[in-house]
Structure 1
Amino acid sequence: MKFIIADDEHLIRASIRIMIQEVETSWDLVGEASNGEELLELVQEHKPSVAIIDIRMPRMSGLEAMRLGKIISPCTKWIILSGYSDFSYAQEAVKLGASEYLLKPINPVELERALTNTAKDNKEFIRMLNQQFENSLFALCNGLTSLKFEELDSVFIQGWFVGAICLFDTTMTGRALSDLMCVFYDELRLRMNRQLVYGMNFAVVSLPSGDMAAIGSWDPSKGVDCRDQMQHFFGALDELAQSYQREGTAVTILQTRDCHGFESLNMQLVQLGQWSHLRVICGIGRRVGYEELEAEASVPAKVKVSQLFCSIKHHLHFRAYLNYQTAVGEMEILFQQDQRLTMDQTKQAVQLFMQHALGIRMTGPSSEDEVIHELRSLGELRLLEIKPREPVTADFIEHVVQYIEQHYMDDVGIGQIAHQLNVSANYLSTQFHKKTGTPFVKYLTNIRMLKAKELLLNTNLQVKQIAEKVGYYSTRHFTKLFVENCSSYPSDFRKSQV
């Protein structure tokens, strides 16, 4: 967003410029003026989103320049600067339509709030704030930062959240599955952007497990209670998931309750991940709420059978014949021991999972014996005749490590690597953590921070340039991660090593 600074004192203009650079690099300073006439020339040329002007300036006062500037550029918003002795002028400025009024000396926090309030109806600004939210949320979800860096009035402490994990059950693998998921998440982001208003945020983030989650937040303290709009969006997410249900593919949405603050959201997302196998019993291809999963989790037999079905899916993918048949044998015994598993609703859910996740289509209601027979037949057809695939070994993980070290500056995600390797993101995440002792995202961040330290010590690059060279396009986000990782600000780290 374009802005202009107008003040007859050079030092004040410089301090405002520096403050705004610290607020967010997406603000684009297009000009500085030392008097009212220069200000009007800049407004005429650039039609800025925001003009920050001093009331008292030579040649033409800030008030007169603002009055004429509103005619030249009706969409420009005006932030007025004044001293205590100019209070009557400030009152007049407010009558003229000034968006904000700040006293000198200027407080950086107050300036940031004034910019936010001034631009809160601007779509570009709202998207910019949402990108900040998504960056911070990703870092919090993956343990890269903590809430101690958040202000007490932050949305992550005071706001409300709803989260949903999106799970794909399909016979697709490799590139075909990757392409399908990319199309799904692209469409999801388009819908999110259409819903955005000030006081509401959306994000699609990768969780430590490798699963993807859609997360929405709203902050009633901003004056907008977006709960109804948020609920409407997650209903639309359910419709989007159902539109992807076709032969061999189903998308299931596991949704949290309304959560007050990030800590509550994170706990529920972790719990949903632990319960994700229960979709087998609840029925895939639909939205399943936290309460429903919680109820099913209280029935040990349902927990066990859903875990076995997910294990069977995993063993089928990796052609682990003995493990596959052992799981089928355990399931046969479980069917015989617990009659609750023979209820029609449970049998329908199981057959739906078999159809989409395993490629077994059974016409009409089937007995437990028929289910076991179909599973064993699949094992004989798909597993015995095919040479077992090489397991994910230490050497395999070493290749992933090498890839990270070569591409740390790019937009690297475990999902894209997993799809290239024809394994699930969840599986690769588990194996990577087991081999390296560090979650994938933390490992990537550690590499980036090490490279950033090298650049801070061995170059004269600005912090913004270093952030971009190690894969971050928000200086604020990079600085927050650097402080968490290195216990000092980038500029302080550079000075301390001189």
Structure 2
Amino acid sequence: MRIVIADDESLVRISLTSMIVEMEGAWELAGEATNGAELLELIRREKPDIVLVDIRMPLLNGLQAMEKGSIISPNTYWIIVSGYSDFSYVQEALKRGAVDYLLKPVSPQDLEEALIKSSQEKQKRQLLLGKRFENELVSLVHGLTDVHMLPDDSMIPHVRFQIVMIYNDGSHCDVGKMVGRSPYLDKLRCSMDAYSASGVYGVFILMPMGGAAFITAWNQADHCRSNTLVQQLLTNLKEAVHQDGNNRIAITAIFSEECENCNVLLERLDELQAWGPLRAVNGINCCSSAAELAKLSSKEGVEELAAILLRLNQCYKEKDYMTYAKTVIDLERWSHKHEESCLSTLKSAICDFIHVGLDCKLDHTQTFSHWKDGLSRHGEQLLSSGEGIGCSLVDMSIAYIEQKYMQDISITQVAQELNVTPNYLSTLFRKKTGTTFIKYVTHIRMLKSKELLALPNAQVQKVSEQMGYLSTRHFTKLFKEHTGCYPSDYRKQLLQQETQTKEQIKSY
């Protein structure tokens, strides 16, 4: 916590400084002021966490400086240190938001208790602001709101951003659902509270095209100090990526450049998601910059190759032998169209990706033709085990629903994708899940609807359209059948909770 001392008596400033220096705790002296005007300039420059201020000072008294300083730095907490015990002064100070009122001469114990109290109040407020910031950012990223619809007091228009896209790859079918979950990344999440208390926010957002975006944000007005914390946070993230990756699950991170506003943030997110598949040819279990991948994407055939490798990985995880075999042929055709010598430097990274994603070892010194034979033999294991047929149809149907639930899908459409009859798939689906295909689709849509309605500025009509319902009335009926209340009532309940949160924030 950074502290500013404002008092026109040098002995008082020296005394307070001496007591703070001798205290245990993360207290840092950011500066001293001898009058109200100096104090305002110091606040404008330093944005301190806490100000110790005398009431009687030249130019501007403590209460006047406090009133103007709170506008300059709303997140600064104030402690009055005065020789006047008149209750009217105390009352006025508390009315203007002072956390405490200390009488001179101040004892070390009283001063430390006041500082700790201010620190705790600030941390509580920052955590509440951080939660609100997260909700607004998620809503913005998923397109449920835009910058012009944000509340007037939103922090989003006033912060800078940096993005890290995180991807998990592995041969197990559930790895894709574990994006961003690991002992080290979980530890990083827990540490975010400490960063939030310092005005630096980190938000994990699952992205519709796969992967998770870890977005850090900090106030533009306090760029230098906040940027130091951000770099420390990103260093911790890099360590998490390196420590948690192994030969069964790979964690790969792609770092963006700094984004000066939320419009640039959304543009960078689109770019990073487009470049995400390039990890298959650039390297996994590592951290890469957006600039590296932008350069790599300019090479002829690289993006097509990366898409083929990701599709091969997905088919193997889903035990879809038919599509797997077709994708191996696509890989062979790709190799016939492009000179291997141009991409020889990528082959080692490709072998690593195939090893982790398919549990298949290839020799990076061999040609793509040799790889084709090895991949074909590896895929035949799906047939010999019987796992690639029948038993995975329901899992594949569910995966299709979770990917396409926002569209007008039917069991006939899914059956065509899986090359089976609708009646066969319908019977198998009900036997395995205990419910019909259409009821399962509706259930998924209602769960997703509740998530969207929980976001700020969500509109029932817009959520209805996103869930694939052309009729808002029909959507409302289904929502009530599944949840017991109308979407509008559900929103009102959430808004009441949000209002309570805002009131809690204002009370700090």
TM-score (norm 2): 0.59
> Is the 8 Å Cα contact of residues 162 and 256 (structure 1) preserved in structure 2?
yes
Separation in structure 1 between the aligned mates of residue 490 and residue 154 of structure 2, nearest angstrom: 32
- CA shift in 2, pair 1:279/1:128, >3 Å: same
Which of residues 486, 494, 502 is equivalent to 1:467? Answer: 494
Match of 2:488 in 1: 453
Residue matched to 1:485? none
In structure 1, C-alpha distance between the alignment counterparts of 2:483 and 2:141, rounded to whole Å: 18
Which residue is 2:128 aligned to?
A: 128
2:3 corresponds to which residue?
Answer: none
C-alpha deviation, 1:182, in angstroms? 5.8
Report the secondary structure of 2:257's partner residue. coil
Deviation at 1:363, TM superposition (A): 5.6
Distance 1:179 1:262, change over 3 A: closer
CA distance in 2, matches of 1:267, 1:342: 31
Question: What are the superposed Cα offsets for residues 1-52 of structure 1, whole Å, 9 maximum, x if unpaired?
Answer: xxxxxxxxxxxxxxxxxxxxxxxxxxxxxxxxxxxxxxxxxxxxxxxx9899
Q: Which amino acid aligns with 1:399?
A: Y
State the Cα distance separating 1:215 from its structure 2 match.
0.6
- Equivalents in 1 of 2:211, 2:94: separation in Å? 44
Q: Sequence identity, in percent?
A: 17
Which AA in structure 2 matches 1:324? Y
Q: Give matches, 1:298-337, under 5 Å.
A: 298-337=298-337
1:86 corresponds to: none
Indicate whether 1:392 and 2:392 are aligned.
Answer: no
Summarize the alignment of residues 297-446 of structure 1 with structure 2, pairs less than 5 Å apart: 297-340=297-340, 343-362=343-362, 365-383=365-383, 385-387=385-387, 388=389, 389-390=392-393, 391-392=396-397, 394=411, 396=437, 398-403=439-444, 405=446
TM-score, structure 1 length as denominator?
0.60
- 1:153 Cα shift? 8.1
SS at match of 1:392: helix
The letter of the residue matching 1:162 is Q
Alignment partner of 1:213: what SS?
A: strand
- Of structures 1 and 2, the one scoring higher in RCO (CA 8 A, sep 6+) is 1
Find the aligned partners of 1:232 and 1:192 in 2 and give their Cα distance. 12
In the other structure, the counterpart of 1:63 is: 89
Which structure 1 segments of 5+ residues have no match? 1-48, 54-58, 67-77, 83-89, 98-117, 414-431, 457-462, 480-498
Q: Matched residues in 2 for 1:236 and 1:328: separation? A: 38
The residue correspondences of 1:84-163 to structure 2 (distance < 5 A) are 122-150=122-150, 154-163=154-163
Q: CA RMSD in A?
A: 4.6
Label 1:349 to 1:210 Cα distance change in 2 as closer, same or farther (>3 A). Answer: closer
Q: Which runs of 5+ in 2 are unaligned?
A: 1-75, 106-117, 399-410, 412-435, 455-464, 504-508
Q: CA deviation at 1:268?
A: 1.2
CA drift of 1:477 comes to 8.6
Contact 2:161 2:217 in 1 (8 A): yes
Residue 296 (structure 1) aligned with residue 296 (structure 2): yes
Count, aligned residues: 355
More divergent stretch after superposition (344-353 vs 205-214): 205-214
Task: Give the structure 1 partner of residue 204 of structure 2.
Answer: 204
CA distance in 1, matches of 2:256, 2:179: 27
Instruction: Decide whether the 8 Å contact of 1:351 with 1:362 is kept in 2.
Output: yes
1:187-202 map, 5 Å: 187-202=187-202
Partner SS state of residue 296, structure 1? helix
Q: Structure 2: how far apart are the matches of 1:308 and 1:192?
A: 37
Write the distance in 1 (CA, Å) between the matches of 2:297 and 2:217: 27
Provide the C-alpha distance between the structure 2 equivalents of 1:478 and 1:171, rounded to a whole number of angstroms: 45
- The change in CA–CA distance for 1:477 and 1:284 in structure 2 (over 3 A counts) is farther
Instruction: Tell me the amino acid that sits aligned with residue 467 of structure 1.
Output: L
In the alignment, the residues of structure 2 paired with residue 328 and residue 371 of structure 1 have an alpha-carbon distance, to the nearest angstrom, of 9
The Cα offsets for residues 248-287 of structure 1, whole Å up to 9 and x where unpaired, read as: 1101112221111111111111221122111111101111
Distance 1:321 1:410, change over 3 A: closer
Cα contact 1:259–1:265 (8 A) shared by 2: yes
